[in-house]
């Protein structure tokens, strides 16, 4: 039997659905035999689909060091995600193909460095993969700072995990912020870029940045103002994708195909392509 084409998915099973926030759920996926569907690297994505509903690209939010399953933290925004949020039950089938895209350079450019993660809202999902990878290979990396913000306490994805596990790690600082005041919140209140400025990080680190475009724009400004270079900052883009293998053409920007040359980009690379992302 010939190898199937990259467009043919395998059938997976959703073993667990975890409600993270009012509009984000984490879907835990294994293949039909109960194993992890395929190997991947942090930052890579997979195509999930319900036949008859749709197919879309999601970033894998578990680390490669997790050999049992993959998590996908998904916000309810479109046709497919509405179905997954509203109709899907644990034990349901889903189709999955991948992995797609270029991962974060965890074994090269990030290795041995201090790392600062900056995330906003649902964008912690792709970062979580790297964060777990770093925690699981702790000796290979220096200090870790995590700055994460969301609209409200309820909108902080992985909040329990952050409190219980991330903050307990050695050589790790976690900074959380929410946009609006809340009675149950004694932490910082304000937008991520402002909080960033307030904390004032030193520039001896690599930055992994992911969030809504407006947040990225303002954090970038703060970063540059504080003396960071664009070569130190990595981010990941989101565009409409169909094939995942650089053929169908819709994620093409400049001479890059986001599904093949990205989604992870070093921010200085983005200066050389048209601003259409």
Partner 1 sequence: MNKTYKIALGNLSKLYGRINETQQIYLPVRRGGTLNFEKWHESAVVDLHGLKTTNTPKDLFLPQSEDLYTAKMDGTNIEIITKDFFDNAFVIFGVKACDIEAIAVMDNIYLSKHPVDMYYEARRKNAVLVSLACNAPKNACFCAAFNIDAANPKGDVATWILGEYLYTQAQNGKGKAFVEDIMGLFEPAEADDLLGLKAEIAEKAQSLPYSKLPLESFTGENMMKIFDHENWDFLHRACIGCGTCTYTCPTCSCYDIKDFDKCSGTTRFRCWDSCMYPEFTLMAHGNNRLTQKERFRQRFMHKLMYHPMNYDGQFGCVGCGRCINKCPVSLNIVKIIKSLGVEVAENANA
Could you list the residues that contact partner 1 (CB under 8 A)?
Answer: 2-11, 51-56, 77-79, 81, 88-89, 91-95, 238-240, 242-243, 245-250, 252, 254-255, 260, 272, 274, 276-277
Peptide bond into 99 cis (omega under 30): yes
Token output for 157: 């994805």
- Nearest to partner 1 of 63, 211 (CB atom): 211
Peptide bond into 225 cis (omega under 30): no
Peptide bond into 263 cis (omega under 30): yes
- Nearest to partner 1 of 79, 221 (CB atom): 79
- Nearest to partner 1 of 56, 206 (CB atom): 56
Q: How far is the CB of 249 from partner 1 (least distance, A)?
A: 3
Q: How far is the CB of 44 from partner 1 (least distance, A)?
A: 14
- Nearest to partner 1 of 4, 187 (CB atom): 4
Residue 62 sits at the vertex; the CA angle it makes with 207 and 236, to the nearest 5 degrees, is 35
Spatial contact of 213 and 238, defined as CB atoms under 8 Å apart: no
Q: How far is the CB of 8 from partner 1 (least distance, A)?
A: 6
Distance CA 194, CA 264 (A): 25
Q: How far is the CB of 202 from partner 1 (least distance, A)?
A: 33
How many CB atoms lie under 10 A from the CB of residue 164? 10
Distance CA 78, CA 65 (A): 31
- Nearest to partner 1 of 53, 174 (CB atom): 53
Q: How far is the CB of 119 from partner 1 (least distance, A)?
A: 17
Distance CA 160, CA 274 (A): 39
């Amino acid at each position: 039997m010939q190898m199937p084409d990259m467009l043919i998915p395998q059938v997976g099973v959703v073993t667990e659905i975890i409600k993270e926030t009012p509009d984000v759920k984490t879907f835990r996926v294994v293949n039909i035999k109960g194993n992890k569907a395929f190997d991947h690297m942090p930052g890579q994505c997979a195509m999930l689909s319900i036949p008859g509903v749709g197919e879309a690209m999601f970033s894998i939010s578990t680390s490669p060091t997790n050999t049992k399953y993959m998590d996908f933290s998904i916000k309810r925004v479109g046709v497919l995600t509405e179905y997954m949020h509203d109709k899907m039950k644990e034990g349901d089938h889903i189709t999955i193909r991948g992995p797609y895209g270029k991962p974060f350079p965890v074994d090269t450019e990030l290795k041995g460095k201090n790392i600062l993660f900056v995330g906003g809202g649902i964008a912690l999902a792709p970062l979580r993969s790297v964060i777990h990878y770093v925690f699981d290979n702790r000796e290979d990396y220096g200090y870790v700072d995590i700055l994460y913000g969301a609209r409200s306490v309820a909108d902080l994805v992985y909040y329990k995990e952050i409190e219980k596990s991330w903050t307990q790690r050695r050589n790790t600082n976690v900074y959380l912020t929410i946009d609006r005041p809340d009675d149950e919140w004694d932490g910082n209140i304000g937008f991520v870029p402002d909080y960033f400025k307030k904390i004032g990080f030193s520039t001896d680190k690599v930055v992994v940045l992911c969030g809504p475009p407006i947040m990225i724009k303002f954090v970038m400004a703060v970063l540059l103002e504080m003396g960071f270079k664009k070569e130190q900052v990595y981010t990941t883009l989101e565009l409409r994708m169909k094939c995942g293998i650089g053929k169908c053409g819709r994620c093409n920007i400049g001479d890059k195909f986001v599904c093949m040359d990205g989604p992870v980009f070093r921010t200085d690379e983005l200066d050389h392509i048209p601003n259409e992302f």
